[in-house]
Amino acid sequence: MNETSPKAGWLEHISTLLSRKPEDREQLIALLHSAYERNLLDADALAMIEGVMQVSEMQVRDVMVPRSQMDTIDINEKPEEVIPFVIETAHSRFPVTDGSKDQVIGVLLAKDLLRYYSSREAFNIQDILRPVIYIPESKRLNILLKDFRSNRNHIAIVVDEYGGVAGLVTIEDVLEQIVGDIEDEYDFDEDDAYIVADTDGHYRVKAIAEISSFNETLGASFSDKDFDTIGGLVIGKFGRLPESGESIVIGDFSFTVMRADSRRLHLLKVERIKPELTDIADS
């Protein structure tokens, strides 16, 4: 007696689906959702496939870090001035400028600064710079991802139609459009507390932390009538989804966005401020 193997059954379902040739994007998406409903794709696979389709239609300007939010290093700064900034911002790569953000002369890898500690007298930032790659705002993300993979660069400087620097984009910015947010070594683990006190008196707070928990931990009195999470409260006060580096004062606290993508807020730096500063910010 011949039994149909699970693999054969799966291939049969795929063949049946593919026989319904989609004629446009909407039909293709409907086909994918049909495969998901038939348990041929799990939710993660469906989301990734839709992400790939989205990336093929998106341009660099849709995901880049704007010029105003770029963390850069000036070539004229001394290493002892640069290193604290690198530690504070916690990036792995930095555009290096010469007096202006329009004059990006190279890319500094944070790990290359270790050479400073082995030979301080002979150390020169100019000697360890990596080449800078310039790309137009209109470049499609799928082509950029292919370029990143082929040339082994993970960061590019975005220029506008006049040749001025418009922002920067990293390989992580592109991949997050496909697989969702990518956490790094500076992010919270899932099991970590949502509110963590730093040694400098600041707090790192996950955007999904409940307002009631925030109030209890920091002695605040924010209402949770309109929003359940501290991220919702911050977005509500901005009136839009803020970008990384933006700050806002709410009550007796200053909130700075540490991490956010094009879809959601992830991590905040919170600092308790003096009452008089609150009055100035609200005036």
Q: 52: which residues sit within 8 A by CB, 6+ positions away?
A: 142, 178
- Report which residue type is found at 32: L
The pLDDT mean for the chain works out to 80
Residue with tokens 């930032």: 125
Q: pLDDT-based confidence at 277, cuts 50/70/90?
A: very low
Higher-confidence position of 153 and 250: 250
Q: Which helix (H) or strand (E) holds 259?
A: strand 253-260
Least confident range from 49-53, 128-132, 149-153: namely 49-53
Please give the model's pTM, rounded to 2 decimal places. Answer: 0.55
Per residue, what are the HEC states of 198-247?
A: CCCCCEEEECCCEHHHHHHHHCCCCCCCCCCEHHHHHHHHHCCCCCCCCE
User: Given a cut of 90, is residue 132 above it in pLDDT?
Assistant: yes
Q: pLDDT-based confidence at 12, cuts 50/70/90?
A: low
Distance of CA 107 to the CA centre of its chain: 19
User: Given a cut of 60, is residue 88 above it in pLDDT?
Assistant: yes
Q: pLDDT-based confidence at 238, cuts 50/70/90?
A: very high
Residue 216 contacts residue 194 (beta carbons within 8 Å): no
Q: Which helix (H) or strand (E) holds 167?
A: strand 165-170
Domains in the chain with CATH codes? 7-57 (no CATH), 61-179 (3.10.580.10), 195-282 (3.30.465.10)
Q: 226: which residues sit within 8 A by CB, 6+ positions away?
A: 232, 236
> Average pLDDT of 116-145?
88
β partners of residue 169:
156
Higher-confidence position of 142 and 50: 142
Neighbours of 200 (CB within 10 A): 8
Q: pLDDT-based confidence at 180, cuts 50/70/90?
A: low
Spatial distance between the Cα atoms of 151 and 148, rounded to a whole number of angstroms: 6
Calculate what percentage of the chain has a pLDDT beyond 70: 80
Half-sphere exposure for 184 (CA within 13 Å, toward CB): 10
